[in-house]
Structure 1
Amino acid sequence: MDQIKIENLEIFANHGVYPEENRLGQKFLVSCILYVDTRKAGKTDDLEASVNYGTISHLIKEKMEEKNYRLIEAVAEQLAEEILLFDEKIRKVMVEVKKPWAPVGLPLETVSVKIERCWNEAFIALGSNMGDKKKYIENAVEELKNEKLCRVLKVSKLIGTEPYGVTDQDEFLNGALKMETLLTPHELLELLHRIEQEAGRKRIRRWGPRTLDLDIIFYGDQIIEEDDLCIPHIDMQNREFVLGPMCEIAPHKRHPVLKETMTEMLVKLKGNN
């Protein structure tokens, strides 16, 4: 994407491990790159179509002075988050925090931390087969909408489906949603587990009855294979209750491993049944 750069913004703030750093303060240099589509601004010469780098500079100053941190890693993380939340046009940001004259007992020019953060697309499968199924799912969607670091973009309609794996239980209500998030995959998983627990989810039997089931189907095009997290979701290509809602909200989304779209996968699954 296009870039708007702010380089070596000088800010006096009180960050550091040592007490005197927090008490006396020191100069910091902050640089950032805002990744923005500037095409419309360039064609119209309209400030509203771009991001005001002056406003971002003052935002950085405000956040640097608002709270004291021991680590410049924490400073950089908070600045990146605040910038990405400030304007939806900013899709990605690079933040570098430089600390001149860092107290290491040796001559140096600066010590710095540089990070990149961005909005990540994710798809979540929704399910319930206990109690007020619709209410459980609707409450979960609302919790995700209210989460500061998440933006819910699309939600499919809910469909009734037969249970999968263990069939001696009530039918499910299933759906899917598309979202953007600043959370990492594991942080997103923790959030989903917390929402499930608040809905009374008990993990007693695999594929058993549940008040609420929230699964990460995709996180961008990442492929993660770990004991506690597998993305894309395992066996989704054989689950019509996942593919059906996914086809409604993202029919052309392509599986990063199987290289097939949601529509192609659903057609193949129905053809095999």
Structure 2
Amino acid sequence: MKYINKKTSQDYDQIKITDLEVFANHGVFPEENKLGQKFLVSAVLYTDTRKAGKTDDLTASIHYGEVSAFITKYMKEHTYQLLERVAETLAEEMLKSISGLCKIDLEIKKPWAPVGLPLKTVSVKISREWHTTYIALGSNIGDSETYLNEAVEKIGQIPTCTVEKVSSYLVTEPYGVTDQPDFLNACLKLRTLLYPEELLKELNRIEKEAGRERIIHWGPRTLDLDILLYDDIVLEEDDLCIPHVEMHKRSFVLEPLAEIAPYKRHPVYGKTVREMLEEIQAQL
């Protein structure tokens, strides 16, 4: 499944590199890995060129010469069997390493593909971009503050993730099953290259490392990590629902979320986080 931000490609400026020639060692056959062959790489770099256009300052834009050198160096220093793998890892490294790069369309062509038939070229073309997601954190067993601190740190250590904002920690009464200790809750804003299912897998891993056991629904837990929003997508899977199905009903979610993203709109209800929180508070 492909996930696209609400901000479309037409909303970005573009810098294009077309058919950069790179001699590298990628392919399924051993001779391709040893002898190497020519590849043609094309890239569309989505960024904001406004400041560079107003100031004539190269440092305010993406240097296409440096990008070309980056592509060449990466492809020469790594060896993969599949073009899909080359494209995926190269796109990821470019997004992580190149300042101001929001999205990339990357195509890698293989003119000398050894298929034994008259073939001009084969290629793999992918689009990858940064996504913005909001995560809810909660704990009510043991040293809850330490659990939340460690969760924020571990999320930030995921190679394709950057924690951009973290709310204050909020002490709240338990929800659902009320015969349990108070919770410590928070929310964070995350910039990620992971797709939702991939991110969920990482969050479940961090929960498990904190000793999380899923025994009682809404019961006590050392650590609870939930994906609240992911760009503006609406996703319904067996194990994942985005937006989080009950976030608009929970003040302990909306209060810390309003601290870091008060004007973020719910993609289904169209209301801002602050508006949803005010509606709950008005009912108390």
Describe the superposition over 1:118-139 as per-residue Cα deviations: whole angstroms up to 9, x where unpaired: 0000000010000000010011
2:145 to 134, 143, 153: 134
Please say if 1:14 is aligned against 2:50.
no
Moved over 2 A (4+): none
Distance 1:144 1:8 in 2: 37
Please say if 1:224 is aligned against 2:215.
no
| Corresponding residue number in structure 1 for 2:8 | none
- 2:109 alignment partner, SS class: strand
- 2:225 alignment partner, SS class: strand
Describe the superposition over 1:211-236 as per-residue Cα deviations: whole angstroms up to 9, x where unpaired: 01110000000111011110000111
Describe the superposition over 1:9-42 as per-residue Cα deviations: whole angstroms up to 9, x where unpaired: 0001111111111121110000001111001011
* TM-score, length-scaled by structure 1: 0.98
Distance 1:235 1:215 in 2: 11
- 2:89 alignment partner, SS class: helix
Describe the superposition over 1:175-214 as per-residue Cα deviations: whole angstroms up to 9, x where unpaired: 1001110011011101101111111111111111110111
- Mapping 1:1-273, distance limit 5 Å: 1-273=12-284
Moved more, 101-110 or 24-33: 101-110
Q: Is the 8 A contact 2:133 2:231 kept in 1?
A: yes
Distance 2:98 2:124 in 1: 23
Give the drift of 1:68: 1.0
Q: Is the 8 A contact 2:147 2:223 kept in 1?
A: yes
Give the drift of 1:272: 2.4
Give the drift of 1:141: 0.5
The amino acid of 2:217's aligned partner reads R
Distance 2:158 2:59 in 1: 27
Kindly tell me the number of residue pairs found equivalent between the two proteins: 273
Give the drift of 1:87: 2.1
Instruction: Could you tell me which runs of 5 or more consecutive residues in structure 1 were left unpaired when the two chains were aligned.
Output: none
| Corresponding residue number in structure 1 for 2:6 | none
* TM-score, length-scaled by structure 2: 0.94
The amino acid of 2:188's aligned partner reads L
Distance 1:101 1:62 in 2: 21
Give the drift of 1:144: 1.6
- 1:168 alignment partner, SS class: coil
RMSD: 0.8
Instruction: Could you tell me which runs of 5 or more consecutive residues in structure 2 were left unpaired when the two chains were aligned.
Output: 1-11
Describe the superposition over 1:22-63 as per-residue Cα deviations: whole angstroms up to 9, x where unpaired: 121110000001111001011111111011111111111111
